[in-house]
Amino acid sequence: MKVRVFGRELKVKIVDSLEDGDFGQYIESEQTIKIAKKCFKRKGFAKAVLVHEMVHAILGIGGLAQVLSDTQEEAICVALEELAYHIDFIGEFENGDCRNA
């Protein structure tokens, strides 16, 4: 799966696990968002994690991350991940489930 943020295609990879038990990770240098498989155990949660990481990407690509502290950036991402419950993805992330996970 891929998502597009400000015209950049980002790969979305489902991985067995991430460092420090994280749920998701945006890796700017690899143009990739990774989501841990465990996120799919709770309905809708993987979609929230994807949105959270997409907000990291938006802030990074848009240049806002450069003027925010890590704490500020994370707070914005946590607040906006709630968007996941108000927007719909068509396809693999529909209803927060991933058929390929």
Residue 76 contacts Zn ion per CB under 5 A: no
| Binding piece for Zn ion, criterion CB under 5 A, among 38-46, 63-71, 76-84, 88-96 | 76-84
What would the two tokens of residue 97 be? Answer: 């489930």
CB 25 to Zn ion: min, Å: 8
Q: Select 64 or 94, whichever has its Cβ closest to Zn ion.
A: 64
What would the two tokens of residue 46 be? Answer: 């993987």
Q: Select 29 or 99, whichever has its Cβ closest to Zn ion.
A: 29
Burial per residue of 13-29, b for 16 or more beta-carbon CB atoms within 10 angstroms, e otherwise? ebeeebeeeebbbbeee
Residue 77 contacts Zn ion per CB under 5 A: yes
What would the two tokens of residue 50 be? Answer: 């994807």
Q: Select 24 or 96, whichever has its Cβ closest to Zn ion.
A: 24
Q: How far apart are CA 48 and CA 4, in angstroms?
A: 17
- Residues lying near Zn ion in the complex (CB under 5 A) are found at 74, 77
